C-alpha cells in the first residue's frame, strides 16, 4: 500500500475550482437586462476575485518563502503568475463596473464579455493550479517532512482572520470527498475545543452534500 503524503495545495485548490465553476455558471445564466440579477452576479464575481487574492497571499506568505529557502529559484514563475492574475482581476473588475453602470443592450453585451473573459481566465488558472499540485507539491515532498508540511499548513490556517474563516471552511467542506473531509475534520476534532468543533460541524453540514456529511458524521462518531 502506497503511503499518502501530506498535500498542502489540493484541498484548498479543490475549493477554488468549485468556487470558480459556480461563479462561471452564475455569470452564464444571469440576465443582465435585470439590474438586480446583474448586481447579484457581479457581487458574486467580486467575492470570488477577493477569495483568489487572499489565496495567493496565503501561498506567498506561508508556503513559497519556505520552499524558496530550500529550492531556490523554483517559485519565480509562480510568483509571476500571481502578478499577472492581479492584472486580470483589475480587468474583470473594470468590466463588472462598466456592466453595473450600463443598461439595455450595452449591459447585455458587457455581461457576455464579462462571462467570456472570466472563463478565459479560469482556463489559464486551472493550469496554474495543476502545476502547483505537481511540480511544487513534489518539491515540497522532496524538501520537507510531512510533520514540517503539517506545521506549515497549521501556521497558514492560524493566520486566517476570524471573519474570513467561515467562508474558508465552508468552501473547503463543499469541495472535498467524504474521505478527505473525514481526515480534515478528524484532525480538527482532536485539536479544537468541543464547542468550537460543534460549530465547524454545523458549517460542514450546510456546505457538504448530505451523503458526504452523513458518512463523515458516522465515521467521526465511531
Residue range 138-155, pLDDT digits in tens: 999 999 999 999 999 999
Say what percent of the chain tops pLDDT 70: 99
The tally of domains found in the chain comes to 2
Written as nine digits, the cell of 113 is: 464579455
Domain match, 42 and 117 both: yes
Q: What is the pTM of this model?
A: 0.93
Residues 82-109 pLDDT 10s: 999 999 999 999 999 999 999 999 999 9
- Alpha helices of 132-177 — where are they, by DSSP H? 137-143, 146-158, 165-175
Task: Label residue 73 left, alpha or beta by phi (over 0 means left) and psi (-120 to 50 means alpha).
Answer: left
Domain match, 142 and 183 both: no
Residue 222, pLDDT score = 81
Domain match, 135 and 169 both: no
Cα(154)–Cα(46) distance, rounded to whole angstroms?
A: 27
Domain match, 69 and 40 both: yes
Dihedral sign, Cα of residue 76, residue 54, residue 13, residue 182: positive
Domain match, 209 and 143 both: no
**Mean pLDDT score of the chain:** 95
Domain match, 166 and 155 both: no
Residue ranges making up the domain that contains 205? 162-222
- The domain boundary, picked from 159, 178, 202, lies at 159
Closest listed residue to residue 183, CA positions, set 40, 4, 34, 1: 4
Domain match, 171 and 189 both: yes
Eight-state DSSP code of residue 44: H
- The domain boundary, picked from 138, 159, 180, lies at 159
Amino acid at each position: 500500500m502506497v503511503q499518502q503524503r501530506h498535500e498542502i495545495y489540493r484541498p484548498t485548490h479543490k475549493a477554488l475550482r468549485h468556487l470558480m465553476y459556480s461563479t462561471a455558471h452564475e455569470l452564464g445564466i444571469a440576465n443582465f437586462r435585470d439590474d438586480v440579477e446583474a448586481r447579484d452576479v457581479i457581487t458574486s464575481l467580486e467575492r470570488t476575485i477577493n477569495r483568489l487574492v487572499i489565496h495567493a497571499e496565503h501561498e506567498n506568505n506561508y508556503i513559497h518563502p519556505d520552499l524558496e529557502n530550500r529550492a531556490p529559484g523554483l517559485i519565480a514563475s509562480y510568483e509571476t503568475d500571481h502578478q499577472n492574475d492581479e492584472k486580470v482581476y483589475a480587468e474583470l473588475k473594470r468590466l463588472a463596473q462598466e456592466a453595473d453602470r450600463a443598461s439595455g443592450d450595452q449591459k447585455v453585451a458587457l455581461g457576455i464579455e464579462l462571462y467570456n473573459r472570466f472563463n478565459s481566465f479560469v482556463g489559464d488558472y486551472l493550469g496554474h493550479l495543476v502545476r502547483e499540485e505537481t511540480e511544487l507539491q513534489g518539491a515540497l515532498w522532496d524538501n520537507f517532512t510531512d510533520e514540517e508540511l503539517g506545521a506549515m499548513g497549521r501556521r497558514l490556517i492560524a493566520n486566517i482572520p476570524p471573519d474570513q474563516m467561515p467562508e474558508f471552511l465552508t468552501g473547503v467542506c463543499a469541495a472535498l470527498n467524504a474521505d478527505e473531509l473525514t481526515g480534515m475534520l478528524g484532525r480538527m476534532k482532536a485539536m479544537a475545543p468541543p464547542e468550537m468543533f460543534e460549530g465547524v460541524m454545523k458549517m460542514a453540514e450546510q456546505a457538504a452534500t448530505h451523503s458526504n456529511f452523513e458518512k463523515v458524521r458516522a465515521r467521526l462518531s465511531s
